[in-house]
Structure 1
Amino acid sequence: MPRPSLILILTVLLAGATITFAQSPSVAEYESIQAAVDANPGKMVFVPAGDYPISRHIEISASDSGLYGSGRIIQTNPAQPILRVEKARGVRIRDLTLTRPEGQMDTTQEGIYVRQCSETTIEDVRVIDNRTIASGIAIRESSGTQVRGCLVENYMRVNIDDRTASPLYGYAFRCLDGTGINVEYSEGTLIQNCRVVENHLHPTPGNKEKYGLGQFTKKNPEKGRLMSQQVWDAGYTNNWQQGSGIVINSPRITTRTQLLGNQIENAAQGMDLHCDQIIVANNLVSNSFVGMKAMHGARNVLITGNQFVRNDLWAIGLMPGTASGAAQPAHDNVPAQSPNNDGGSIIANNIITDFGYGDAAWNWQNGGTIAPIRFTHAPLAENPALSDVIIQGNIVYDTGRDQPLVDGVPKREPPRYKYAVLIESGEPNPPHDLHFLGNIFHPGTAGVCNTDLPQ
């Protein structure tokens, strides 16, 4: 039998008010963290300072339950996630560190996995060295989730990205992969003041050679529809940085998301958005080859007040994707399909600096699609065009103009982009109804834009 729990009273002073929390019980009174959780449904369980090795994931499935404390949970089994929360309401996870030991850090599993829950709060939690092809923190089929003040560090690993099942690609290749925070099939999610940082695997020439990054490992007999003949024949793709700092996915279902005040460093893609009704505000993305993109049917995206620093391929990109599609009526026993088009969005008051000065610049320096801000045509004829976007009050700043004087003469380095804005005018379905107002775009080596900026 467990010993009687000790009742601890913690008093917190916040903005001049006194808030008192009654806290009981403690995992110190039980054989394991899981035993403490199981014995106390509907209660917050305290995890004192110390290391807690586990070999099976901790599972929380009772509403109003949770874990908090300064303890460090160490998952020794790479075949298991660290913590799962399923089919519960009001679960809270606070202050803990979740990690894996040396030699067991590479995994296919999540650090924290939340599924079919509502009103979950994950606050001031650290997920470190969960190096995965999945996600450090994953939210699935949930509503009202809040992820605040968390750190996800060193979440990437070497992987093989297998696209042989897709007729659009038809190949597999070696890559760096992994995502910090991932949301799918969810509504009303808030991700705020988090840090997502990759300090383990950087896109260096040394790592490219060491791991054979970009090399094909399999290839179908026929080339995929979206594959260039040159890449197909070479058996190599320079798109070997996969994954993102934050991914918001499932565009027909995932809605009403807020990404506020997060810092993303050294990701492949900073923010990858395939969703509707999302606010992306006051984030700082640095040293990611793509700052952010919204595609595959991303509607009503508000991108405002963000800083994009040291991006190399583009900083802000809006584009249709192969999952974009028009509304379809029911026919031949196929249910009606809701629209999944891209646009109705605003890009306002963002600052893009040090473009082309990131760690991946060497890998993209000859690319024809390099631009701080990019709008693309549809990949396939059945994908609707991007449309109805306001671009207002943004700055693309050419860092090269600020080089020091040499013998009294400015030693100006040319911009590391051809155009500040790239608008693809080719077929199929080029973007339309883009409206530019009050921006400062320092011209690239060929000018401000590849076409006249529409007003």
Structure 2
Amino acid sequence: MSSLPASLVSSVVGSACRRAILVAVGLFVSTSGLKAQSPSAAEYKSIQEALDANPGKMVYLPQGDHIVSERITIKHDGSGLYGYGRIIQENAEQPVIRADGRKGIILRDISLTRAEEKTESRAEAIYLNQCEEVLLENVRVKDNRSAAASISVRDGKGTQIRGCTVENYMRISVDDRTHSENYGYAFRCIDGTGIAVVNSEGNLIQNCRVVEHVFVPTQELKEKHGLGKFTKKNAARGKLMNPEVWNAEYVNNWHQGSGIIVTGPDITARTQLIGNQIENAAQGIDLHCDHVIVSNNIVNNAFIGMKAMHGSRNVLIIGNQFVKNDLWSIGLMPGAASHHSAPATADRPALAPNVDGGSIIANNIISDFGYGSASWMWTETGSCNPLRFDKGQTPQNPPLTDVLIQGNVIYDSGKDSPLVDGAPKKEGPRYSYAVRIETDGKNPPQGLRFSNNIFHPGKEGVSNVELAP
């Protein structure tokens, strides 16, 4: 019998010794041991009954379909579900799982969906309200078609969403903006969001997949559902409305929602979006928050790759791939929610500043720009630019300030067109400028610094203004 190498023997012995020590002190639990020790939902009349009977414990969800007609509510800290079962919600008015004010709950490996005839809903698949230190890992959500997000986190702290999949989350809807003095109309649209985090701190969204397969912005879909047409209109035009759009009663931004949105401009902070893949979204990543890392993500076939606005400060955008975007890939801009600091008044408390800037855009690659599903809507407008830095939406918005842009590549994929009739047929770029900086108005961007980038020129050049080093 041949002997094992000394290094391997040492490794095996070391591993065995470590396990023995952990077992002796009660810290080692194998996967099979966890399953054996956990209560199983199969032992109870319902998943809800299993959770209620085992407060603070993880309940095992065995493989197979589990039909529910009311939401599953996690009522105790430290509770959760894990396993390879699939929960099918038959009630279109209810979320699949909800938790309010809980701490340390875990959802792992389970699948959530809706009954085939009830996929369209106004509710979330997972709704977490005022929860702390939640972990969602390897959870799969499919066919939760709602204007609400499939996974929704509100007023939370320390939420981790890792390795989850959201598939087919959009529906035909109406976006009603009649209550806003800035807009004052409602219109037919495609709407839906994969993952939404609102008014929350210390978030991690990592290695998730958010994919829509059905509702992509084709001309056929637009005509079939009357997308973009007004359904209601106030007597007075909204403050931010273009008069021509108002009179035409049609908007071309009828592809609404986001793959991932992190919002709550005055509250949400310290978020990491790392290694996610987003396919066929309207907006890939939408940020209205501070102290954010956006790294190693792939956003493919979204008419907007990502934007940070409404007071998004200290955003690090590094090492991402933006593929087949049609309007812009990376956009930074103030929005209507951004504001200067202000002292307290009789009507409101003092306002801390909510500003945009102090950010870095580095080592990203933008390619196949203008080759996405929405290109037919945007390429002829002259407003398509891979990098966009905008002015404020109102004159009162503080300007976008102090952004470092370095080491990025904007690649004109049209120059690599395949052979046609035995000869290369190169297309021109499908964007006006590689970089557009809006200089009109009272609050144009300030302090933008460019270095070591490769920007293939657009139809009108590299940039509409000289890029400051």
Which interval holds the TM-score relative to the shorter structure? over 0.9
Q: 1:408 to 1:366 in 2, by over 3 A?
A: closer
TM-superposed deviation, 1:340: 0.5
Return the letter of the residue paired with 1:20. Answer: S
Residue 351 of structure 1 is matched in structure 2 by 365
Larger Rg: 1 or 2?
2
- Taking the aligned partners of 1:37 and 1:110, their CA distance within structure 2 comes to 20
TM-fit CA distance, 1:113:
0.7
Distance 1:93 1:250 in 2: 25
Residue 175 of structure 1 pairs with residue 185 of structure 2? no
Q: For the residues of structure 1 that align with 2:433 and 2:183, how far apart are their CA atoms?
A: 29
Amino acid at match of 1:70: Y
Partner of 2:232: 218
Of the three residues 296, 311, 319, the one matched with 2:310 is: 296
**2:342 partner amino acid:** Q
Give the conservation status (yes or no) of the 8 Å contact 1:25–1:46.
yes
Name which of 32, 39, 42 aligns with 1:25.
39
1:233 to 247, 251, 264: 247
Distance in 1, matches of 2:77 and 2:237, equals: 50
Percent identical among aligned pairs is 59
Among 283, 288, 311, the alignment partner of 1:274 is: 288
Unaligned runs of 5+ in 2: 1-14, 20-28
The equivalent of 2:163 in structure 1 is: 149
Aligned equivalent of 2:86: 72
* Number of equivalent positions: 441
Does the Cα contact within 8 Å between 1:379 and 1:428 map onto a contact in 2? no
Give the direction of change, closer, same or farther, for the CA distance of 1:355–1:53 in structure 2 (3 Å limit).
Answer: same
**1:310-341 per-position Cα deviation (integer Å, ceiling 9, x unaligned):** 00000000000000101111123521101101
- The one-character-per-residue Cα deviations of 1:412-441 (angstroms, maximum 9, x if unpaired) are 100000100000010030001000010000
- Equivalent residues of 1:98, 1:111 under 8 A apart: yes
TM-score, normalised to structure 2's length?
Answer: 0.92
Aligned residues of 2:365 and 2:411 also touching (Cα < 8 A): yes
CA gap of 1:428–1:103, structure 2 versus 1, over 3 A, is farther
Q: Does 1:448 align with 2:458?
A: no
Structure 1 residues 333 and 236, CA gap change in structure 2 (3 angstroms): closer
Question: Which position in structure 2 is the counterpart of 1:125?
Answer: 139
Residues 16-48 of structure 1: CA deviation (Å, up to 9, x unaligned): 997624231101100000000000001000000
Distance 2:403 2:183 in 1: 30
Q: TM-score w.r.t. structure 1 length?
A: 0.95
SS at 1:346 equivalent:
strand
Task: Please state if 1:330 is matched with 2:340.
Answer: no
Q: Deviations 1:198-217 (Å, cap 9, x if unpaired)?
A: 01211011110111100000
Distance 2:296 2:148 in 1: 26
RMSD after superposition: 1.4
Q: Deviations over 1:258-278 (max 9, x none)?
A: 000000000000000000001
Give the counterpart letter for 2:30 in structure 1. Answer: T
Change (3 A) 1:232 1:72: same
1:255 and 1:226 mapped to 2: Cα distance? 28
- Cα deviation for residue 255 of structure 1 reads 0.5
8 Å CA contact retained: 2:135, 2:160: yes
Distance 1:374 1:56 in 2: 45
- For residue 382 of structure 2, the aligned residue among 358, 361, 368 is 368
Q: Which piece of structure 1 moves more, 241-250 or 404-413?
A: 404-413
Are 1:308 and 1:352, in contact at CA under 8 Å, matched by a contact in 2? yes
**Which one of 79, 86, 90 corresponds to residue 104 of structure 2?**
90
CA contact (8 A) 1:93 1:125 kept: yes
Q: Which amino acid aligns with 1:154?
A: N
Asked if the contact 2:383–2:432 (Cα under 8 Å) also holds between the matched residues in 1, the reply is: no
Q: Is the contact between residue 382 and residue 431 of structure 2 (CA under 8 Å) also seen in structure 1?
A: no
Supply the distance in 1 between the matched residues of 2:155 and 2:324 (Cα, whole angstroms): 34
Between Structure 1 and Structure 2, which shows a larger proportion of helix residues? 2
What amino acid does structure 2 have at the position aligned with 1:352? I
- 1:422 and 1:233 map into 2 onto residues whose CA distance is 28
The alignment status of 1:341 with 2:334, answered yes or no, reads no
Cα distance, 1:408 vs. partner?
8.1
Q: Distance in 2 between matches of 1:58 and 1:84?
A: 6
